[in-house]
């Protein structure tokens, strides 16, 4: 039981609900609550695929794809930098006409690399080796449910924080996201 709790806390902290929430607010601004909740559910499902894939297949999957963990970290870092710029500066990168595909793209960006990014993937591989795949998978599932709940209640959280609070949160998290992106790139290149 203690191994489950340790794995859950570690994965949940690395998934960073605050960062995901700030990105979710920014990317779903102006959407109705029911659409936001659909995106939250899709994001959790998107995040589950790489999380469980790497828990169960880990380094073997990366080797099969001929992708090193370092390259994966660099790629994830680049995506995080662009997302951080969007959050910190309030800029929007050009998009096609808003339709269901754009909403799916939002879910993908939130699901990975934010919820299940390079740090979560690397940690899940290490935890699976240390605590076993089943314990790590259960802890990962619990962490994903926690993330989904945070995103599901985003409108409520939005109401409590207010527009100014969200702006400050978004800017701060954007800067942190950029820093994490740079750190992932630096670590991947080292």
Structure confidence by residue, pLDDT tens digits, 81-90: 887 787 788 7
Section 35-42 average pLDDT: 95
Residue 127: pLDDT band with limits 50, 70, 90: confident
Token pair 């910190």: residue: 88
Per-residue pLDDT, 45: 97
Q: What is residue 92's predicted lDDT score, i.e. its pLDDT?
A: 66
Place of tokens 């979560």: 120
User: Phi-psi category of 138—alpha, beta or left, where left has phi over 0 and alpha has psi -120 to 50?
Assistant: alpha
Is the bond leading into 113 cis (omega within 30 degrees of zero)? yes
* Residue 149 φ/ψ, nearest 5 degrees: -60, -40
Percentage of residues in the chain with pLDDT exceeding 70?
95
pTM over 0.85: no
Q: Is-contact 83 23, C-beta < 8 A?
A: yes
């Amino acid at each position: 039981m203690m191994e489950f709790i340790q794995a859950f806390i570690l994965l949940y902290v690395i998934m960073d609900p605050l960062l995901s929430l700030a990105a979710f607010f920014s990317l779903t601004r102006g959407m109705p609550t029911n659409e936001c909740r659909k995106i939250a559910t899709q994001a959790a499902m998107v995040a589950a695929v790489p999380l469980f894939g790497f828990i169960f297949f880990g380094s073997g999957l990366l080797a099969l794809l001929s992708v090193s963990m370092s390259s994966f970290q660099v790629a994830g870092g680049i995506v995080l930098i662009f997302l951080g710029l969007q959050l910190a500066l309030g800029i929007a990168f050009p998009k096609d006409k808003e339709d269901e595909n754009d909403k799916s793209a939002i879910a993908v960006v939130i699901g990975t690399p934010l919820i299940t990014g390079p740090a979560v993937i690397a940690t899940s591989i290490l935890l699976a080796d240390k605590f076993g795949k089943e314990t790590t998978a259960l802890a990962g599932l619990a962490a994903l449910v926690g993330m989904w709940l945070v995103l599901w209640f985003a409108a409520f959280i939005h109401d409590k924080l207010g527009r100014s609070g969200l702006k400050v949160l978004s800017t701060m998290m954007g800067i942190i996201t950029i820093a994490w992106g740079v750190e992932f790139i630096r670590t991947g290149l080292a």
